Chain A
Amino acid sequence: SYELTQPPSVSVSPGQPASITCSGDKLGDKYACWYQQRPGQSPVLVIYQDNKRPSGIPERFSGSNSGNAATLTISGTQAMDEADYYCQAWDSSTGVFGGGTKLTVL
């Protein structure tokens, strides 16, 4: 079955850029999206179709996808961005999530 791999944790200082990677076989041939989940809350879509932002998502969130990896980048990370982030793609009509990355803003 298809797998997406994320680092368990990423740390960043406030105001600095943060990047979270998501690896999967030929992921660049699929659309990747990203969800933010704060403790006790439902996930929120922050990037879809590799690099598009839903309305209401700050411009500091951006995405890319090529080869075997997708990347979520947060420029000028803020304390409120501290959360778990999940990548997601589809493979053979099956939804697949990465294991999640805990972003800590120190």
Chain B
Amino acid sequence: QVQLVQSGAEVKKPGSSVKVSCKTSGGTISSYAISWVRQAPGQGLEWMGGIIPILGMLNYAQRFQGRVTITADESTSTAYMELSSLRSEDTAVYYCATSTPEDYVSGSGTFDYWGQGTLVTVSS
């Protein structure tokens, strides 16, 4: 069973960037599609985008286009999500989650396993 371990909490200034990592264990990152989902305080879940490292496939939610970059390092089984031009509304817990590549590509992907979440606080 895969486990996802994310990097620790961050406090950032408005206008800066943050990069959150997600390391897989119990399975190589090449076996999965990795999505990033965020949750603002007291709010619901929001999908930001995803990557399938083995296919070189990447897609982002339209509202984050141009501000989010998702990458993966297969040698360390680690995925990354970088969000730029941070504003207070980006304060949230950021999760990584896995899907099987086949289901992700076909549009039936479910988020089978989740990381523990990383709290990003944007404050001046």
Q: Which of A48, A54, A90, A97 contacts B46 (CB 8 A)?
A: A97
Q: Give the contacting residue for B61; candidates A30, A31, A35, A94; CB below 8 A.
A: A94
Q: With A35-B45, A86-B45, A93-B59 known to touch, is A42 a contact of B110 (CB < 8 Å)? A: no
Q: Is A68 an interface residue (CB 8 A)?
A: no
- Known: A42-B95, A95-B50. Contact between A30 and B107, CB under 8 A? yes
Q: Are B35 and A95 in contact (CB under 8 A)?
A: yes
Query: A88 contacts the other chain (Cβ, under 8 Å)?
Result: yes
Q: Report B88 CB to chain A, min CB distance, Å.
A: 21
Closest B residue to A47 by beta carbon equals B110
What is the CA–CA distance of A101 and B118 in the complex, to the nearest angstrom?
Answer: 23
CB atoms of A43 and B47 under 8 A apart: no
Cβ–Cβ < 8 Å partners of A54 in chain B: 112
A49 CB-CB contact with B under 8 Å: yes
Q: Which of A66-106 contact B (CB under 8 A)?
A: 86, 88, 90, 93-100
Task: Report the minimal beta-carbon distance from A2 to chain B, rounded to whole angstroms.
Answer: 11
